[in-house]
Chain A
C-alpha cells in the first residue's frame, strides 16, 4: 500500500500539471476576453496532427515542426475570432454554439480523414526516466511539470506586469472603461484568442507524446478545461493551480482506488458541484453577481 500511496502522490502531481497545461489556454481566453472557446479541444488536436504531418510528410525535425504548429494554431485562433466570433460578439449563446460547432467540425473532420490509427504519435522530447522513491517516472512527465509551472509563472507575469497583459485584463474587468482608455476591444479579444490557441498547441505538443493521438482526446481536453476553469474561477492564476491540483489528485486517487472508469466522473462532478455550490469558483473574485448568477 505504501508504494501505491507514493505513486498516487507522484502521478497526482504529474496529472495536475497535465490538467493545468491543458486548461491554461482556455482559462486565459475565458478570463481575458470572456469568450468561452469551445473549439479548444479541436485546436489542441490540430496542433498534434499538424506536427505529425510536418514531421512525416514534409520531413521536418520535431522542434521546427512544433514551432510552426504553435504559430499556425495561434493564427487559426485569431482567424476564428475575426471571422466567426467578431460578428456575434457579446451574444454569449452564439459565441458558445459557434465555437463548439467549429471544434466539433475540426474533430470530426480528422475522424473522417482517417486520423484514427495507431501510427499517430509524437516523439517525446526526452527519452528515459528516473526512479523517485521507488516509482518510475519518465523524463517527459517531469518535463510536463517543469513546463506547466514555467508557463503559469510566465502568464502570471505577463498579465500582471506587462502593458499588453494589463490592457487585456482591463478589458476583462470593464470593457467600457478600457475602451475609453484607448484599448481596442477587438484587438484585445483577438489577441487573447490567439494566445489561448497557441497555449493549447503548446500543451498538445508536450502532453501528446505520452500516448497516441486520438479524436476523443479533443473532447476530453474540452471537458478538462471546463472543469478546471469552473472550479478555479477566472482571472486567477492561483485558482487555476489549486483547481488543477485538486482535480489532478482526485482523478489519480479515484482511478487507483476505485477504478479508471471513475476518472471522467470526477471532472463532470467538479463542473456540476462547482457551479451549484460556488458559481464564482474557488478563487474567482468578481463577476459573480453580474455574470454567473
Chain B
C-alpha cells in the first residue's frame, strides 16, 4: 500500500538577496525583521542589572567577563587559531592592572585601559613566533603558557608570588560596573560581526579556510594573524583587568584552567563564528553553573558532558540553530508517492 510521506522543506525568506548577510530591504517591516533580534538583545541586557539582587548581579558580572573571553576565543577560532588557554590573555591583563596599580598607584580609570593595551601587545609579541603552528599545536602552546606563568610566578615569587597582589583600588558601584561591561561586550560582539563583513574580515576568514591560498594571494599571513591575536587579546585582557579591580585582588587563580574551559564551552555551546553565539553560550552556561553550585565538583562533570554532547552531536551550536529557524520557513511537503515495491528496491 502506498503511503503519502512528507518531508520538511526549508525556504529562505524572500528578503535575502545574495548571501547570508546581504539583504534587499523594501519596507520598514523588513528592516524591523533584521533590527528586531539585535534590538531585543540590547533591550534585554540594558535594564537587567536594575532588576537583579546583589547575588545575581555578581553572577551577571562573571557572565559578562566569561562572555568577553568567549568572544575573544571565537575571534581567534575564526582565524583558525584554536586557543585552549584564554586564561593567558585574562591573566596577563589582570596582572598588568595589578602591577600598574601597586607599583605606580594609578587609579582604575588608567590601569584598565593601560593593562588592556599593553596586555594585548604583550600577548601578541609572545605568541608571534608560534603563529605559524596550526591545529592542535597552537592549542598546546596556549594550553601550556598560562600554566607556565602560574608556576613561574609561584616559583620565583615575583608579582606577589602565591599571595598575589591585594588591596587594589576598587571600582565604583556594581551597577556601574555592569553597565560598563554590557557596553563593552555588546560593542565587541557587534563590532567584530561588522568587522567580519568587511574586506578585512574576509581575509581573516580566509586564513582559517586556507591560509596557503591567502599567502599565494600576496598577503602576509603572519602579519594578519598577529593582528587577529591583538584584536582578540583586547577584550580578554580587558576582562582580566576589570575583574582584578572588581575583586581588588589578582593572584595565580587568574591563570587557572577555569578561565580557559568556561569560555571555550560557552563558545561551542552557543555556536562558533558568530560572536553572538559565544555570548549566548556564556549567558546560558554561567548562570546554570551557579544554579548547580550545590553539586560541588559534579558541575564540572556536568558541563564537560554538555561540552562532549555539543561537540559530537550538535556542532552547530544554539545560535546557528536559532538563526536558521528565524531566517527560513519550514513546511511539510508531500513527497512523491512511493510504492512498497519501489521502496524495497530503494532500500535493497
Contacts and interface: CB of A to CB of B under 8 A. Distances in A.
Interface residues of A, number: 40
A109 B140 CA distance: 24
A226 B143 CA distance: 10
Contact of B311 (A97, A105, A112, A262): A97
A64 interface: no
Contacts, number: 117
A34 B149 CA distance: 29
Interface string A84-111: 1001100111101110111011001101
A193 interface: no
Contact of A269 (B139, B148, B312): B148
Nearest to A260: B155
B315 interface: yes
A109 B301 contact: yes
B148 A112 contact: no
A145 interface: no
Contacts of B295: 112
B224 interface: no
Contacts of B143: 226
A102 B137 CA distance: 20
A46 interface: no
Contacts of B69: none
Q: Is the interface of B mostly helix, strand, loop or mixed?
A: helix
A258 B304 CA distance: 37
Interface string B250-269: 00000000000100100010
Contacts of B297: 108, 111-112
Interface stretch (A11-19, A239-247, A272-280): A272-280
Given A226-B140, A268-B147, A271-B141, A94 B300 contact: no
A92 B136 contact: yes
B180 interface: no
Contact of A104 (B140, B155, B268, B304): B304
Contacts of B130: 275-276
Given A108-B300, A268-B144, 7 more contacts: A87-B312, A94-B311, A96-B84, A226-B140, A271-B140, A275-B130, A292-B135
25 contacts: A83-B312, A92-B82, A96-B139, A97-B311, A100-B84, A101-B311, A102-B304, A104-B261, A105-B301, A105-B305, A105-B308, A108-B297, A108-B298, A109-B298, A112-B295, A223-B147, A226-B143, A230-B137, A258-B155, A269-B148, A271-B141, A271-B144, A275-B130, A279-B137, A292-B134
Interface of B: 77, 82, 84, 129-130, 132-137, 139-141, 143-145, 147-148, 151-152, 154-155, 261, 264, 268, 295-298, 300-301, 304-305, 307-308, 311-313, 315
